[in-house]
């Protein structure tokens, strides 16, 4: 027997659409403020301004400068529910962050990862008001800083570490894709290998080592590692850079990669293998080759049979969304590692994910928000509370 709120979701979707101007405005005003990882302060200020204008019960930053708004619930004895969205983006401050709005799309850098998520987070108090929704738990709306890359999820780690009470459950918002349902995180280690050739080796030596070729050798050796089918494991090469110009031997080069597995031990084993490769090549080629870990998460998961996951699937199906399960190594992993039931949901569909002209479809956003409301009501119903 479906719960009442599930039946009301299609109606909620229509009401949410009736304030589309406010939702789009929040996405645009937040997204137009550059927020590269470690420089999110201007965006934090705008988020707080927007939240405080909505007269929510509390609005401030924690001691790690995560912007937080709290809507007080009816029951003081119920732990809070969290809705979070990371506020940092991969784009530098010096690119044009002015967004374009057209009939069907909003376009601009960082819109999908994760300005749309943040704009929706900021819109939730207005949406709750419009839907006349009141919760038993406090609803904590948190923008989190320093999530991406070298940020290493510091914002969410500090937020949870400093939170004084237990947390009942959480939803993480991501700009895309609608249908995404993440409820487990793989173990992950994000690493960087840097190769530096000393210029003291003499400018006259035409045969000194080339940093790019050294990294090429490292990559080849990593590719020869035999990775198991069970537990699943993989190495993803995601970034590479090096050299100065076409006809000059590269003296510096960097390789960024992630080791992913659903087994913590396997991540560690692969890391050890790669460290041996790096040390070996460094020794044999007499170059400065360093392996650095820039972030890591441990594997954690809810089972598909967990009531939160089942309820999320039910909410999505009611709204005509086909759920697609997958892993996410973002804020979700920190909640799950702290034994807090949580899911990550996508808000809409989009194109050019990490490009300056990234764009998000407007119409599906309202369905995306309705699903968040549905899952939030499911969490608030107490069905998943650990006694």
Partner 1 sequence: MSHNSWIKKNTFHFSDFKNLSYLVQEKKRKNLTISLCLPTLNEEETIAKEIVIFRSELVLRYPLIDEIVVIDSGSTDRTREVARAFGASVYIADEILPGLEKQKGKGENLWKALYVTSGDIIIYIDADIKNIHHRFAYALVGPLLLYDNIKYVKAFYERPIAGRKKTRPTGGGRVTELVVRPFFSLFFPEMAQIIQPLSGEYAGYRETFEQIPFPIGYGVETSMLLDIYEKWGLDVIAQVDLEKRVHRNQDTKALGKMSFSIINTFMDRLEKLGVIKTKKKMLTNMIQYKIVNNEYRPDISDIQKLERPPIIDIPEYRKKFNIDQSMNKKVKNV
> What residue ranges bind partner 1 (CB under 8 A)?
19, 21-22, 24-25, 28-29, 32, 96, 98-103
Residues 6+ apart with CB under 8 A from 374: 5, 6, 9, 12, 315, 318, 319
> Which residue, 49 or 62, has its beta carbon nearer to partner 1?
49
CB of 351 to partner 1, least distance (A): 17
CB of 99 to partner 1, least distance (A): 7
CB of 94 to partner 1, least distance (A): 14
Q: Is the peptide bond before 222 cis (omega within 30 degrees of 0)?
A: no
> Which residue, 101 or 240, has its beta carbon nearer to partner 1?
101
CB of 354 to partner 1, least distance (A): 22
Residue 179 CA from chain centroid, whole number? 16
> Which residue, 19 or 294, has its beta carbon nearer to partner 1?
19
Separation CA 357–CA 162 (nearest Å) = 37
Q: Which helix (H) or strand (E) holds 260?
A: strand 252-261
Separation CA 220–CA 60 (nearest Å) = 49
> Which residue, 93 or 96, has its beta carbon nearer to partner 1?
96
> Which residue, 63 or 98, has its beta carbon nearer to partner 1?
98
Nearest CA among 336, 337, 341 for reference residue 385: 341
Separation CA 219–CA 211 (nearest Å) = 12
Q: Which helix (H) or strand (E) holds 269?
A: helix 264-285
Whole-angstrom CA distances from 387 to 291, 300, 381, 384 are: 45, 21, 14, 9
> Which residue, 14 or 290, has its beta carbon nearer to partner 1?
14
Separation CA 305–CA 308 (nearest Å) = 8
**HEC string of 45-112?**
HHHHHHHHHCCCCEEEECCCCCEEEEECCCCCCCCCEEEEEECCECCCCCCCCCCEECCCEEECCCHH
> Which residue, 96 or 265, has its beta carbon nearer to partner 1?
96
CB of 96 to partner 1, least distance (A): 8
CB of 55 to partner 1, least distance (A): 11
> Which residue, 22 or 152, has its beta carbon nearer to partner 1?
22
CB of 129 to partner 1, least distance (A): 11
CB of 119 to partner 1, least distance (A): 12
> Which residue, 29 or 85, has its beta carbon nearer to partner 1?
29
The helix/strand/coil state of 323 is coil
Largest CA distance in the chain: 80
Give the helix ranges, DSSP H, for 304-353: 307-318, 331-337
CB of 97 to partner 1, least distance (A): 9
**HEC string of 124-157?**
HHHHHHHHCCCCCCCEEEEEECCCCHHHCCHHHH
């Amino acid at each position: 027997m479906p719960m009442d709120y599930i039946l009301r979701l299609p109606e909620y979707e229509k009401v949410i659409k009736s304030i589309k101007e406010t939702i789009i405005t929040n996405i645009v005003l937040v997204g137009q403020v550059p927020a590269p990882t470690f420089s999110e302060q201007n965006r934090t200020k705008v988020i707080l301004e927007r939240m405080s204008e909505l007269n929510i019960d509390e609005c401030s930053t924690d001691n790690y400068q995560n912007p937080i708004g709290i809507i007080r619930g009816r029951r003081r004895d119920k732990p809070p529910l969290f809705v979070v969205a990371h506020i940092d983006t991969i784009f530098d401050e010096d690119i044009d962050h002015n967004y374009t709005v057209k009939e069907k799309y909003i376009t601009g850098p960082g819109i999908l990862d994760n300005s749309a998520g943040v704009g929706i987070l900021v819109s939730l108090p207005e949406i709750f008001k419009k839907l006349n929704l009141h919760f038993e738990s406090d609803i904590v709306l948190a923008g989190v800083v320093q999530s991406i890359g070298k940020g290493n999820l510091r914002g969410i780690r500090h937020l949870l570490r400093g939170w004084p009470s237990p947390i009942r459950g959480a939803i993480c918002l991501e700009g895309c894709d609608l249908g995404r349902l993440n409820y487990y995180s793989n173990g992950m280690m994000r690493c960087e290998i840097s190769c530096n050739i000393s210029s003291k080796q003499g400018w006259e030596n035409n045969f000194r080592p080339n940093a790019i070729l050294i990294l090429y050798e490292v990559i080849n050796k990593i590719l020869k590692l035999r990775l198991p089918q069970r537990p699943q494991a993989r190495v993803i090469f995601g970034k590479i850079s090096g050299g100065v110009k076409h006809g000059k031997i590269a003296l510096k080069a960097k390789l960024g990669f992630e080791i992913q597995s659903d087994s913590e031990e396997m991540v560690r084993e692969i890391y050890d293998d790669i460290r041996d490769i790096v040390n070996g090549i460094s020794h044999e080629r007499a170059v400065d080759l360093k392996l650095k870990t820039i972030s890591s998460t441990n594997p954690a998961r809810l089972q598909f049979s967990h009531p939160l996951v089942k309820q999320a699937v039910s909410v999505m199906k009611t709204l005509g969304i086909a759920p697609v399960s997958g892993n996410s190594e973002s804020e979700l992993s920190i909640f799950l590692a702290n034994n807090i039931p949580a899911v990550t949901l996508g808000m809409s569909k989009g194109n050019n994910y990490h490009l300056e002209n990234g764009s998000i479809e407007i119409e599906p956003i309202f369905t995306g928000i309705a699903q968040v409301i549905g899952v939030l009501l499911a969490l608030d119903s107490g069905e998943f509370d650990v006694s």
